[in-house]
Amino acid sequence: MDTILVVNAGSSSLKFEVFAAGSTLARLLKGQMEGIGTAPHLTVKSAGGERVANENYSCENVPDLLAAMRLVGEWLRERQEGRLIAVGHRVVHGGPDHTRPARIDQNLVDELERYAPLAPLHQPNNLAPIRVLLERQPQLVQVACFDTAFHRGHDPMTDHYAIPARYFDEGVRRYGFHGLSYEYVAGRLAEVAPGISNGRVIVAHLGSGASLCALWQGRSVECTLGFTALDGLPMGTRCGQIDPGVLLYLLQQHGMTPAQLQDLLYKESGLKGLSGISNDVRDLLASDSAGAALALDHFVHRMGLNAGALAAALGGLDAFVFTAGVGENSAVMRERIAGKLSWLGASLDARRNDGGELLVSTDDSKVAIYVVPTDEELMIARHTFALIAA
């Protein structure tokens, strides 16, 4: 049996999945090493949902991502049958030129390293397992799947900033992210709601990272994320849209260094910064503190503003889709956000919403509201399978 390994490496977690690559793809294992460097914990489930690993490790054994990769690799080699034919990787930033997945070699890695400053929480960690496998198993096919690629079909006007055009030519432009998630949801929507999938759709990817994407005929035409993964909506620890003058003020009046400013914007802002409690929506919903209320109110408010902007870009709205951790699992947040869409004719059905149904809008809603679980790992496996098949 031939298999494909999918890897999604972050700063404190390493997600992986194994697929059988026959005439079609079949998921065999789904796992994650989380709490790297603090409270390392490995969980792995079979395709049927049965837990096949549930192990805690000491920080000394798993102090960093490289150690987690080594441990996960050993676990897979000991237990996994079949012949590994390729590894597909999530790479957040593909720059202006990559419109589709690419086979990895050292030249590509060198190119992608240039975008690390634009995605400092993601890009270095995405590239770490790639480097290790290139060194240790250079014959193994590796495929990079880019979060930016789905947005590369935008009208150039959309991706320009209002600064001298020479900066656009050197790569200072709106890229958009969460593209693998949006690509999967667009394809899934065509299956479950073909009547509206080619219309004017906004998809809300709401997790620790959050963004909105405007789809027309299943293709991205606008995204709230831009040059980096800081723009648009406030996120778990990221600020979202901010007046550039604030950054100048912090640099000039507070004497912050670029490194300090980067830490503030990426790690100490968003829901965590506003609440002073947590970056986790579940914690904030459970809290009765004023900070938690402020953070959630701000998030919902900005959701409404950004959704209105994307609806304007589309010239109207036929459907709104929730996906990712918060979007899929929090009925309360879906209800609050849907309330901000009522002026567009959206009406949420409380029973359907609480019941976790696919369609959660009322029968007479002018805007259909859906909850469509995303599957970025399956999207990566599909791209990897298609590339090696070609």
Residues carrying an active site annotation:
147
Q: Which residues, in sequence order, are CB contacts of 105 under 8 Å at separation 6+? A: 134
C-alpha dist (Å) from residue 68 to 87, 140, 240, 333? 17, 20, 30, 34
Number of Cβ within 10 Å of residue 273's Cβ equals 19
Contact between 119 and 147 under an 8 Å Cβ cutoff? The reply is no
- Within 8 A by CB and 6+ apart from 249, the residues are none
Sign of CA dihedral 145, 147, 150, 156: negative
Q: In what order do the strands lie in the sheet with 368-371?
A: 219-223, 210-216, 200-206, 319-323, 368-371
In 3D space, the residue among 209, 281, 269 whose CA is nearest the CA of residue 239 turns out to be: 269
